[in-house]
Structure 1
Amino acid sequence: MNKVYFIGAGPGDPDLITVKGRKLVEKADIVIYAGSLVNPQIIECRKADSELYNSAGMTLEEVIEVIIEGVKNNKLVARVHTGDPSIYGAIREQIDILNKNDIECEVVPGVSSFTASAAALKKEFTLPDVSQTVICTRLSGRTPVPEKEDLEALASHKASMAIFLSVQMIGNVVHKLSKHYKINTPIAVIQRATWEDQKIVLGTLKDIAQKVKEAGITKTAQILVGDFLGDEYSLSKLYDKSFTHEYRKGK
């Protein structure tokens, strides 16, 4: 039997899928992609005679049925997810069922929207003397968040933060963050990072909610917050001429 590949398609730009991921899409016999989020240009490289399924309108059971039938018929199946499938990708529930059916799986990582958003801003999450921790989280919605991971509790660390799936509740996001971050803390909202219609809104906790409203952003956006978005930080020791390490002696 063949196996199924769970592929991270990246944040949107067709060139940001990995080489390995693209090669698998190119030779796959069956392509199942998350059509509500994955840029359709990414799967244009598929074989003309491959079977194509848009999972946006499918149930878990329907997706699994297509995969199992395909693999048992020795077809290569590419299950294409947006960003990196390990973050809010809902792949675990698929893989567990496939394992029970003796279907071999492989996960091909991709570029996440939170790193793509930082790239769009030309910012670094981990600046010396500012933050060495990145928190990826979301607000509770139809999928609940454990109480201990409430945004207000996480904000107490004042780390660099990437907030997924929450821009439609930007007012609530600001309210919770403001319990611990200063009101002038920089914050950015990046909609459809790396897509041709990418939109960036910059502000502080004081004014970002109004700016997002004026920009008409209600979905498919990443919220980045923290002092890493500012301009004050210490230089890295890695390239400090007085710093000795394995590959260089300090002067």
Structure 2
Amino acid sequence: MTVYFIGAGPGDPELLTLKAQRIISECPVCLYAGSLVPEAVVAGAPEGALVMDTAPMTLDDTHAQIVAAHAMGQDVARVHSGDPSLYGAIAEQIRRLKAEGIDYQIIPGVPAYAAAAAALGQELTVPEIAQSIVLTRMSMKSTSMPEGETLENFARTGATLAIHLGIRALREIERVLTPHYGADCPVVVAYRASWPDEVFLRGTLSDIHAKVRAEKITRTALILVGPALADIKDFKDSALYDPEIPHVLRPKVLV
């Protein structure tokens, strides 16, 4: 048998990859993170499949289900939100699978920041404005951050920041980022991007906290910060399609 760690995307079932959809439809056991993955994503599980919401379960609980499936030779669809490579909590699961010689595969999914950018209708990397995206999170009550991976260190780069688990720390985010980005730096709070009840709040470092409080958003939100989020009209075209900059697929035409 094989355990398939499947990235379910940000919420919209239509953002599942074809591969993810097929594997879910074939696995007799489906374990999904119900707090972040809607039931519609796993609705395609085969008739008679064991489908379990793992939100109230511990690592020991979920692993026990996998071990039981392994004993019966049943494939398992382990469905996580977004892309499992980012805050998917799969590393500790994989460690146990390796220790017991249980095969696994990882099926990538659409990450939340990509879904948010698509909904906003813009690119997060704009030529000569921002060419890097930092995916990070706030510690809060979660696992502590490694030394050096501080919001202040990331802020020094001026890159677009995609901050997870930070909606309750907006005041701290404002305090740390304002000296580097300025009080008027654009901020977007994406609440449940791609879900039917999605909300996108645009503001600045100085006023986004008040807007979030007014909407009473307290969880399941991604915070995007950076100058690339502004409605920039005066920026240099990318070199990718510049006729004056040839490359191997578009060699310079000699006249």
What TM-score results when the alignment is normalised by the length of structure 1?
Answer: 0.96
- Report the secondary structure of 1:161's partner residue: strand
- Return 89-98 or 113-122, whichever deviates more: 113-122
Q: Aligned partners of 1:146 and 1:96: how far apart in 2? A: 20
| AA at the equivalent of 1:244 | P
C-alpha RMSD of matched pairs (Å): 1.1
Deviations 1:152-194, CA, capped at 9 Å, x for gaps:
2211111011000111211111111113111111110010001
Name segments (4+ residues, structure 1) moved above 4 Å: none
**What's the counterpart of residue 97 of structure 2?**
98
- Report the secondary structure of 1:180's partner residue: helix
How many pairs are equivalent?
Answer: 250
From 224, 244, 247, the counterpart of 1:245: 247
**What's the counterpart of residue 196 of structure 2?**
196
**What's the counterpart of residue 152 of structure 1?**
152
Deviations 1:106-153, CA, capped at 9 Å, x for gaps:
000000111111111112122110111110011111221123111122
Q: Aligned partners of 1:47 and 1:40: how far apart in 2? A: 14
- Report the secondary structure of 1:200's partner residue: strand
1:132 aligns with 2:155: no
- Report the secondary structure of 2:213's partner residue: helix
* Cα distance, 1:248 vs structure 2: 1.8
| AA at the equivalent of 2:156 | S
**What's the counterpart of residue 70 of structure 1?**
69
Verify the 8 A CA contact 1:152 1:179 in the aligned structure 2.
Answer: no
Q: Aligned partners of 1:141 and 1:163: how far apart in 2? A: 12
1:53 aligns with 2:52: yes
- Report the secondary structure of 2:245's partner residue: coil
What TM-score results when the alignment is normalised by the length of structure 2?
Answer: 0.95
* Cα distance, 1:228 vs structure 2: 0.9
* Cα distance, 1:25 vs structure 2: 0.5
- Report the secondary structure of 2:201's partner residue: strand
**What's the counterpart of residue 234 of structure 1?**
236
Q: Which runs of 5+ in 1 are unaligned?
A: none
Verify the 8 A CA contact 1:12 1:38 in the aligned structure 2.
Answer: yes
- Report the secondary structure of 1:212's partner residue: helix
Verify the 8 A CA contact 1:160 1:227 in the aligned structure 2.
Answer: yes
After TM superposition, the structure 1 = structure 2 runs for residues 3-14 of structure 1, keeping only pairs within 5 Å, are 3-14=2-13
* Cα distance, 1:61 vs structure 2: 0.6
Task: Tell me the percent identity.
Answer: 40
* Cα distance, 1:233 vs structure 2: 2.6
**What's the counterpart of residue 223 of structure 2?**
223
* Cα distance, 1:96 vs structure 2: 0.5
- Report the secondary structure of 1:119's partner residue: helix
**What's the counterpart of residue 162 of structure 1?**
162
**What's the counterpart of residue 119 of structure 1?**
118
Verify the 8 A CA contact 1:34 1:82 in the aligned structure 2.
Answer: yes
* Cα distance, 1:250 vs structure 2: 4.5
Q: Aligned partners of 1:31 and 1:102: how far apart in 2? A: 20
Q: Aligned partners of 1:150 and 1:245: how far apart in 2? A: 38
Verify the 8 A CA contact 1:83 1:111 in the aligned structure 2.
Answer: yes
Q: Aligned partners of 2:128 and 2:150: how far apart in 1? A: 26
Q: Aligned partners of 2:241 and 2:86: how far apart in 1? A: 32
Verify the 8 A CA contact 1:161 1:224 in the aligned structure 2.
Answer: yes
- Report the secondary structure of 2:249's partner residue: coil
Q: Aligned partners of 1:145 and 1:173: how far apart in 2? A: 15
**What's the counterpart of residue 178 of structure 1?**
178
Verify the 8 A CA contact 1:16 1:111 in the aligned structure 2.
Answer: yes
